[in-house]
Structure 1
Amino acid sequence: MSVTIDIAGLPTGRISFAPSPLAELCMALHALAQPAHHPGLHSWITATTAALDPCLADRLLECDFMWRSSFADIFMPFAGVPGGTGLPAATIAEELDVLDRMDDERFVLAALEHCWMSLHNEGTTVSPLTDPAARAKALETAAARGPRQLDFALRLLADPTEVRVWLRRLLEDCDEAFFADTWRRIEPRQSAEARHKAELLRHKGLAVALGEVSAALSLDPAGTTVTVDKMVHGTATATDARVGTGLVFIPTNFGWPHLLVLHAPGWRPVIHYPIGSAELISSQGSVELLQRRMEALAHPMRMRLCRSLARASYTTSELATVYGISAPEVSRHLSVLKKAGLLRTRREGRYVQHELDLATVSRIGADFIEGVLR
């Protein structure tokens, strides 16, 4: 199973790498809706959810199907508006302006991606805005997904203009509430990633660039087809002049483990690929704190203590017995680890239990985690 993208005759100059704030907002919303998919983002998800205004949280629930179990194409409007650059803009506002230029029929099908897939699989491209049978099918599919999807579909089909205004305001409020600050932290890394991949493409060719994007991507020997190894079947073309030629790669900090391919008919193909956890760019991670953590872990005895504390919680006396050192010496080592923010401590009756905070340690490096858990 795979998605294939026809690039026969496509000039290298029409293959682009660029960050997209609107696409990244979609992935951030997905992480908030599906935290179990993204354990590496636990701290960011917890902090953002705790600070989220209840009214905004309720509004997000009205259309969370657009990012919870699938990813609506409206978050990549640059790929669906013919005559444009085919590239994402630099800001949320600019990308929403592009979305505003999308015609109602295309917007509705992109927003109701679940019904679009149902209509497409039946071999029809008629719009539920104008065709009664397509409308009935769209509502039937929405109802099968749940009452919220049905309510949203009814609103959208009855008055797409009103819903478009409502949705833009919702995304703008998300940007103001939490995403703008996050984007300021991660955008430099994404821009650097895009520049690096563009240079790789220019100097070493597409096959090498694809290999560095993901092991799930490959190029056929003739250089005419990009194949994405996914558990779906799909095809797309990057050479349709009616839509606009081009293939765009969008990096994401929030996307792992998802590798997304936009392959809707009449849209430019887009590959949305993960480059790492946004939590690694946490605003809490100052150089001073990083130095304190590295120094705390550099001591051989503290490394040995971490090996035990990564597996279970221990009291000071238990660790002293295990490692054959005095309880005061254990306490001194634990104090260093705690000041570095690497321990979680809780009291159970007369005893204080200590354990390694794996989520925090994971931000330092996977090699260390693998070492202490080996």
Structure 2
Amino acid sequence: MSVRIDITGLRQEQIAVVTSPLAELGMALHALSEPGHHPRLRGWATGVTCDLDPHLADRMCEADFLWRTTFPDLFLPYAGLPGGNALPGATLAEELDQLDKLSDEQFVDTALEFTCALPYDDGGPAALTDAESRRRALELAAARGPQSLLFSERLLADPPRTRAWLRHFLEDCDAAFFADTWSRLHHQLAADARHKTDLLRHKGLAEALASVSPAVTLDEAADRITVDKLGEGRTATAGSGLLLVPTSLGWPHLMVLHRHGWQPVLHYPVGSPEMAAPLSLEQLTLRMTALSHPVRMRLCRSLARSAFTTGALAQSHGMTAPEISRHLGTLKKAGLLTTRRRGRYVLHQLDVTAVARLGSEFLEGILR
């Protein structure tokens, strides 16, 4: 499985390696909402959380499904601007202005990304204007709980009001903690961008992509970039450019914006994670055996991002509930799952801290 980018006709001057404060703010919100994905940020996250104004913390929870289990393209708004060659703004304020330039249809569709309700690679009717797309979006939002349903209803009923709420919230996050964080991270990210740009100019795109991640490869004969991920996708530059955007807070997530009609973006992590202490041989063998099945690897990808019932997993993976239960039992026996009861439902979720102890490569693979 992979995400493929057709770069036929792409010229070197159309490729840019650039920093993005808005993208990094999105990763900051994700790391605060899902600290298990980012164990090396535990100290930073604890410090921010302890100093956070309670009212801002409540607002952060109001729509945390936007950044907890996915990374909506609204944090990369420049990729959706007309012309297909816009660059990120130099400041967060400039990028928020770019976010304001997206149409209401674009904003709603990207904000509804957490429901997986709409065609992504090929485009399709907008939820704001198409009744069936709206119905499907609200149905999937309801499956994720009353909070996501309420947000989706408000978003579809009054996009300008929701846009204003989001901008004000992001500005308050900047004032509360992100401006200081960005001032410390920007130099590292800018240095990495300069390094990748030098590689691009002097050694070519293949070398630059290899330095991004071993999971990113260039087939020059086919004019295609392939990103090895536990997911399928495709896009094309088709006259637009290609952006490479580094993140410090985002490890281990390697993401590809491949939305239909948008400029492709590779959002890649820089730096190296701290290694965990080794497990006992017996426990390591048990866990590696549990993870050796491709179906369980795909389940891990879902369970790393959110908690699911057995029935929901069966539906999304096209399997029967008993089949899913057997795989979940194997993962649970290996100590890789946490479970909790919510009413009459039992929710399962991957223990990413336990998985991280197996080594960064597997965790990076399922979270890529």
TM (norm. structure 1) is: 0.71
Change (3 A) 1:199 1:278: same
Q: Deviations over 1:104-143 (max 9, x none)?
A: 001000011034x333179771122222211111100111
Q: Please list every run of 5 or more consecutive structure 1 residues that lacks an aligned counterpart in the other structure.
A: 280-306, 308-374
User: Secondary structure of 2:107's match?
Assistant: helix
Question: Does the aligned pair in 2 maintain the 1:41–1:278 contact within 8 Å?
Answer: no
Deviation at 1:212, TM superposition (A): 0.7
Question: Are 2:263 and 1:268 equivalent residues in the alignment?
Answer: yes
- Amino acid aligned to 2:242: L
Deviation at 1:221, TM superposition (A): 3.8
User: Secondary structure of 2:225's match?
Assistant: strand
CA distance in 2, matches of 1:278, 1:192: 18
Question: Are 2:252 and 1:257 equivalent residues in the alignment?
Answer: yes
CA distance in 1, matches of 2:273, 2:167: 24
CA distance in 1, matches of 2:149, 2:20: 29
Q: Equivalent residue for 1:238?
A: 237
Q: Equivalent residue for 1:313?
A: none
Question: Does the aligned pair in 2 maintain the 1:251–1:274 contact within 8 Å?
Answer: yes
Q: Equivalent residue for 2:200?
A: 201
> Which range is displaced more, 187-196 or 69-78?
187-196
Question: Does the aligned pair in 2 maintain the 1:186–1:278 contact within 8 Å?
Answer: no
CA distance in 2, matches of 1:184, 1:157: 36
Change (3 A) 1:28 1:153: same
> Which range is displaced more, 251-260 or 124-133?
124-133
Q: Deviations over 1:9-38 (max 9, x none)?
A: 100111110000000000011000011111
Moved segments of 4+, more than 6 Å: 121-124
Higher alpha-carbon Rg? 1
Change (3 A) 1:219 1:84: closer
Q: Equivalent residue for 1:322?
A: none
- Amino acid aligned to 1:175: D
Q: Equivalent residue for 1:288?
A: none
Deviation at 1:165, TM superposition (A): 0.3
Deviation at 1:270, TM superposition (A): 0.4
Q: Equivalent residue for 1:158?
A: 157
Q: Equivalent residue for 1:54?
A: 54
CA distance in 2, matches of 1:122, 1:199: 31
CA distance in 1, matches of 2:220, 2:121: 34
User: Secondary structure of 2:119's match?
Assistant: helix
- Amino acid aligned to 1:57: A
User: Secondary structure of 2:3's match?
Assistant: strand
User: Within 5 Å, which residues of 2 pair with 1:1-374?
Assistant: 1-83=1-83, 85-115=85-115, 117-120=116-119, 125-222=124-221, 224-239=223-238, 241=239, 245-276=240-271
Question: Does the aligned pair in 1 maintain the 2:65–2:114 contact within 8 Å?
Answer: no
- What is the aligned residue count? 277
CA distance in 1, matches of 2:60, 2:272: 23
Q: Please list every run of 5 or more consecutive structure 2 residues that lacks an aligned counterpart in the other structure.
A: 278-368
Q: Equivalent residue for 2:282?
A: none
- Amino acid aligned to 1:101: K
Deviation at 1:276, TM superposition (A): 2.2
CA distance in 2, matches of 1:2, 1:257: 17
Question: Does the aligned pair in 2 maintain the 1:254–1:278 contact within 8 Å?
Answer: no
Alignment RMSD: 2.1
Deviation at 1:251, TM superposition (A): 0.4
User: Secondary structure of 1:112's match?
Assistant: helix
User: Secondary structure of 2:118's match?
Assistant: helix
Question: Does the aligned pair in 1 maintain the 2:128–2:134 contact within 8 Å?
Answer: yes
Q: Deviations over 1:165-194 (max 9, x none)?
A: 000000000000000001011101111111
Change (3 A) 1:121 1:266: closer
User: Secondary structure of 2:152's match?
Assistant: helix
CA distance in 2, matches of 1:119, 1:262: 15
Change (3 A) 1:277 1:93: farther
Change (3 A) 1:259 1:141: same
CA distance in 2, matches of 1:124, 1:254: 30
